[in-house]
A and B are shown apart, each in its own frame.
Chain A
Amino acid sequence: DSGVTQTPKHLITATGQRVTLRCSPRSGDLSVYWYQQSLDQGLQFLIQYYNGEERAKGNILERFSAQQFPDLHSELNLSSLELGDSALYFCASSVTASTTGELFFGEGSRLTVL
């Protein structure tokens, strides 16, 4: 158990819909990262937050947005969903903003868009 909690574990929805994925980091970790994992693209970095502020942005689509709340939990919002958005979405946390340390990953949220 990494200490990172993601909900929901599985989500099935239709194209055009909007979903929200939730992540609670390990106790004491200030930094949250979101990754997308698909079979043909591997693990792609989406976005990072540190103590409520956006710190780094990766390959995140404009249809996607995220935020980190004062209690440090984070939400990833995916809108106007397309078939290609079907993937595993991972949240990871670390103590610091700099990723020289270990990333602790949650178990992921599997999104299926039909």
Chain B
Amino acid sequence: TQLLEQSPQFLSIQEGENLTVYCNSSSVFSSLQWYRQEPGEGPVLLVTVVTGGEVKKLKRLTFQFGDARKDSSLHITAAQPGDTGLYLCAGRIATGNQFYFGTGTSLTVIP
């Protein structure tokens, strides 16, 4: 059983469209990170959110941490082929010493 469930699992969209990826759990997290992984490479950190309700923007990417710190979302505006990859959320529980990774969302942006 995964602590963090991501949806959708797969997403294929046209260039220029908007999309939202969700990361949900029944557990409360002290912080949550989003990573992006390209084929043949390891995950690379995009953002860390630590406060309930926090919103962070990174160019066309908007990250939100839920008020109860149990969920998060990643919204991409005007997706580009370079956004293609596996998006992973990772949450750290307050008593833990490591991050639990979500199931991942595989995004394909078609030119």
Contacts and interface: CB of A to CB of B under 8 A. Distances in A.
Interface residues of A, number: 24
A105 B101 CA distance: 13
A56 B44 contact: no
Interface of B: 2, 30-31, 33, 35, 40-45, 48, 50, 88, 90, 92, 96-104
Contacts of B50: 100
Interface of A: 2, 4, 33, 35, 42-45, 48, 55-56, 58, 90, 92, 97-100, 102-103, 105-108
B97 A48 contact: yes
Residue among A33, A92, A99 facing the most chain B CB atoms (10 A cut-off): A99
A54 to B, nearest CB: 11
Given A42-B101, A42-B104, A43-B88, A56 B96 contact: yes
Given A42-B102, A42-B104, A99-B92, A105 B43 contact: yes
Contacts of B99: 45, 99, 103
Contacts of A2: 42, 44
Candidate in A2, A100, A102, A108 with the most chain B CB atoms within 10 angstroms: A100
29 contacts: A35-B101, A42-B88, A42-B103, A43-B90, A43-B101, A43-B104, A45-B100, A45-B101, A48-B97, A56-B97, A56-B98, A90-B43, A97-B97, A98-B97, A99-B92, A99-B97, A100-B50, A100-B92, A102-B33, A102-B48, A103-B33, A103-B35, A103-B90, A105-B41, A105-B42, A105-B44, A106-B42, A107-B41, A107-B42
